[in-house]
Structure 1
Amino acid sequence: MAQTQPTSALLYVGTYSVRGSKGIYVFNFDLESGTVQLQQTVENGKSPSFLAIHPSGRYLYAVNEEDELGEEQSGSVNAYAIDPESGQLTFLNQQLTHGQAPCHISIDRSGKLAFVSNYGSGSLTVLPVADDGSLGEASQKIQHTGRSVDEERQEGPHVHSAIVSADNQLLYVSDLGTDQIYIYRIDTEGGQLTESTTTPTVRVSAGSGPRFTAVHPGDERIYCIKEMSSTVAVLKRTPQTDTVEIVQDDVSFLLETYSGERSGADIHLDSKGQFLYVTNRGNNTLAVFSIADVGTLTHRILHYTGGDEPRNFLVDEPSQFVLVGHQETDNITLFKRDASSGDLSATGDQIEVPSPVCLLMVHRS
């Protein structure tokens, strides 16, 4: 007997604590109409900006970007349990990140480790995840060093994200301050990261500022959005040796005539690895690329996102909705995606949320 497709999902929105934001917002999202209903507001005044969902779908994690705890002036991360029926969040515990201004968190695919990127101090923290979803004390902290050519923004390391490979073997860590992508091997049992012996780092063009990576489903291509240049780098991983090299760099997703602010924000692939999507906050646009069999990019189209500062977005393939969160205009706009062409069309609908920074969706079973 064929399984029926879910008709609703849970939409979790992390925010900055400005303009009346309460913290984390939980919505019920109708997968057919795109309408939402607020389910819960989780009070948190410390800018619970970036979120991550446990692979089991039972737990959610949020970095507190404004926390300054203890002698280290450390940030922190909160763990929450997700109610299987309502999707509402219940606080489990909090742990220090042992770094300043944590801006990103990811969970390894086994659900045993959390990786927190401390932008302010340029460090990466590993936290073990217990069976009940709570976080243990940090098992490792890695401090990056170095700088790059921009004296104001690259005066030191600024770790922006840590993305897990599809096979759960490698961690790609983007450091905006040093113009490098650091590559670590993941030891889920020991709760530790070790530097890759074949390619410990990949250096991108000077002053470009790597921000996020997206891993191709086949694991042989990695796409890095670079914030300061609004360009994408395409990297190739050789599975037999785990060497990583750049095969296409500085692929712009802006018009050649564009002379405004370059502020690349977010990057996502579709599940088949046929299309790549990236946003630029400088002109509030979302670009669509097609991906060749060899992994290289061809620019297809540029869309206005319908708000100011499109910081984060999500591509929900079961419903073919694309949701774009705007940090400065307090709104999430909706698009419909054509799965065959990859193109988007605005629905005209939007969700009002103060300063949305991160959007995640969990489908109801």
Structure 2
Amino acid sequence: MLLKSALFVAYAFGCAVVSVAANNGSTTTHNTSTEVDVNDKGTTLRILAGSVSDLFVLEFTPDSTPPRLDLKHHFPDVIRNAAFPWITRHPNNNNLFVVANDNHDEGELSSFSYDDNSGNLTLLDRVLSKGSCAHIAVSPDGGYVHIASLYSNGNGSNGAIVPIDPRTGKFGKVDIPDFLNFGGYELQPGQLNASQLLRHPHHWTFHPFLPVAYLSDLGADLVRRYQIVSPGQLAPLEPIQQRIASGPRRSIIHPAGMAIYTLHEIDSTLSVGKIDVNTPYGNVTVMQEGIDMLPPGSNLSANVFQGSEFQLSTDGRFLYAGSRNNTAPPSGTSNKDPIAIFSVSQNGTYIERIDVVETDLW
């Protein structure tokens, strides 16, 4: 579903609607509550999209001719101090949305309810998130929001955990355990001063059945692993080392739980780790790394391309990975950013690139 890497920071919802995420060039979410094939006749996607200050409800009808994207509701000035807000949907309360922004050191976390019948959007709560948010994810039990913050008060970065009441949308006290409070960082040989001067927690994800949370750290070239001791309580595990100067931005888990995929921003590559589900916390062995996402002949200089976002198809058979900021396309091609398409083995532990599609999305 290429729509999952499309135009806005967004989340889809409502009756007879696919739950999808879309992108504005900065962040997306991959948590979904309902999956419907967009080729099904009569499918309508209602999408909650965020801009710098506004929220929008869009309605997408993929089987019309041509496909239609219409504005249904516009809510101005409901997001404060936001550069690229991240929107995620609560896994248990379909009308509850959490929005984070990344525009200032303190950051802000907001919760909203949306009434699909009336179209009303209601602010439920706001709290300072104690960091410039890159991504948020609601814990599998629905009781906590996990935040990945790129920096905080100019002094590094953190991974905050915030209780949320799924009935009321109210937040509890923001907690930053010592092991999630990342201060200064000493560059390792080969790392980039501009992108990796600080640790940069960038994305949370959770294993589908093991008590493990993963935090991609773009600055340290690590995918950090944490035992979920109890809801909202984590304990560090051995991290997954990534290639130096690769910049791990996002990680996702195969539905079978036996593989973790990581997208790298700096060198526009993917890695695949095999998860041993017979160990208590899923020991990981890297099986593939440096898997190229770019078209043949691309300029591979750092930050010409930037790996941005990826998604698995709902059946786990295909992986779609996008890159942005294509300032030096291959000779004879237009300045269009690519989405690479990979086939995925049955257990998820091996991927193979089958196509690269150039787009105008980023």
TM superposition score normalised by structure 1: 0.74
Confirm or deny that 1:157 pairs with 2:188. Answer: no
Runs of 4 or more above 3 Å deviation: 3-7, 145-148
Task: Look up the match of 2:102.
Answer: 65
Please give the per-residue CA displacement for 1:199-241, whole angstroms capped at 9, x wherever unaligned. Answer: x201100000000012100011111000000000101111121
Equivalent in the alignment of 1:327: none
Alignment CA distance shift 1:275-1:195 (3 Å): same
- CA gap of 1:251–1:88, structure 2 versus 1, over 3 A, is farther
Give how far 1:84 is off: 3.8
Aligned position for 1:313: none
Structure 1 match to 2:343: 290
Equivalent pair of 1:10/1:27 in contact (CA under 8 Å): yes
In structure 2, C-alpha distance between the alignment counterparts of 1:221 and 1:293, rounded to whole Å: 11
Distance between the aligned counterparts of 1:42 and 1:54, measured in 2?
22
- Secondary structure of the corresponding residue to residue 153 of structure 1: helix
Q: Which amino acid in structure 1 is aligned with residue 70 of structure 2?
A: Q
Q: Which residue of 2 aligns with 1:305?
A: 359
Distance 1:84 1:193, change over 3 A: farther
**Is the 2:227–2:235 Cα contact (8 Å) retained in structure 1?**
yes
Q: 114, 120, 125: which is aligned to 1:82?
A: 114
**CA shift for structure 1 position 144:** 2.7
Partner of 1:112: 143
Q: How much has 1:139 moved relative to structure 2?
A: 3.3
Q: Does 1:175 align with 2:212?
A: no
Q: 1:52 aligns with which of 61, 67, 88?
A: 88
Task: Determine if contact 2:54/2:75 at 8 Å carries over to the other structure.
Answer: yes
- Matching of residue 133 in structure 1 with residue 169 in structure 2: yes
With the length of structure 2 as denominator, give the TM-score of the two structures.
0.75
Deviations 1:289-347 (A, max 9, x none): 0012352111111111124xx2xxxxxxxxxxxxxxxxxxxxxxxxxxxxxxxxxxxxx
Could you tell me whether the CA contact under 8 Å between 2:125 and 2:169 is conserved in 1? no
Instruction: Flag the 1:275–1:86 CA change in 2: closer, same or farther, 3 A.
Output: farther
Residues 42 and 217 of structure 1: CA distance in aligned 2, closer, same or farther (over 3 Å): farther
- Of 214, 228, 244, the residue aligned with 1:206 is 244
| 2:25 counterpart residue number | none
Question: Which deviates more, 213-222 or 6-15?
Answer: 6-15
Query: 1:168 offset after TM fit, Å?
Result: 6.1
Distance (whole Å) between structure 1 residues aligned to residue 283 and residue 210 of structure 2 = 16
Where does residue 261 of structure 2 map in the other structure? Answer: 223
Q: 1: CA distance between counterparts of 2:204 and 2:124?
A: 23
Deviations 1:100-138 (A, max 9, x none): x21111111221111111012321000111132222221
Distance in 1, matches of 2:120 and 2:63, equals 22
Q: Distance in 1 between matches of 2:62 and 2:230?
A: 35
1:252 partner letter: D
Q: What's the secondary structure of 1:74's corresponding residue?
A: coil
The equivalent residue for 1:41 is 75
Residue in 1 aligned with 2:60?
29
SS of equivalent residue, structure 1 residue 152: helix
Deviation at 1:95, TM superposition (A): 1.3
- Please state whether the residue corresponding to 1:287 is helix, strand or coil: strand
CA distance in 1, matches of 2:69, 2:50: 16
Distance in 1 (alpha carbons) for counterparts of 2:168 and 2:210: 21
Are 1:14 and 2:50 counterparts?
A: yes
Residue 107 to residue 164, structure 1, CA distance change in 2 (3 Å): same
- Identity, in percent, stands at 23
Is the 1:12–1:26 contact (alpha carbons within 8 Å) kept by the matching residues of 2?
A: yes
Separation in 2 of the partners of 1:155 and 1:219? Answer: 33
Q: Which has a greater percent of strand?
A: 1
Looking at structure 1, the residues matched to 173 and 321 of structure 2 have their Cα atoms a distance apart, in angstroms, of 34
SS at match of 2:197: coil
Of the structure 1 ranges 259-268 and 180-189, higher mean CA displacement relative to structure 2 is found in 180-189
Contact 1:51–1:61 at 8 Å: present in 2 too?
Answer: yes
Inter-partner Cα distance in structure 1 for 2:210 and 2:109: 22
What is the distance in 2 between the residues matched to 1:75 and 1:228?
A: 25
Aligned length: 291
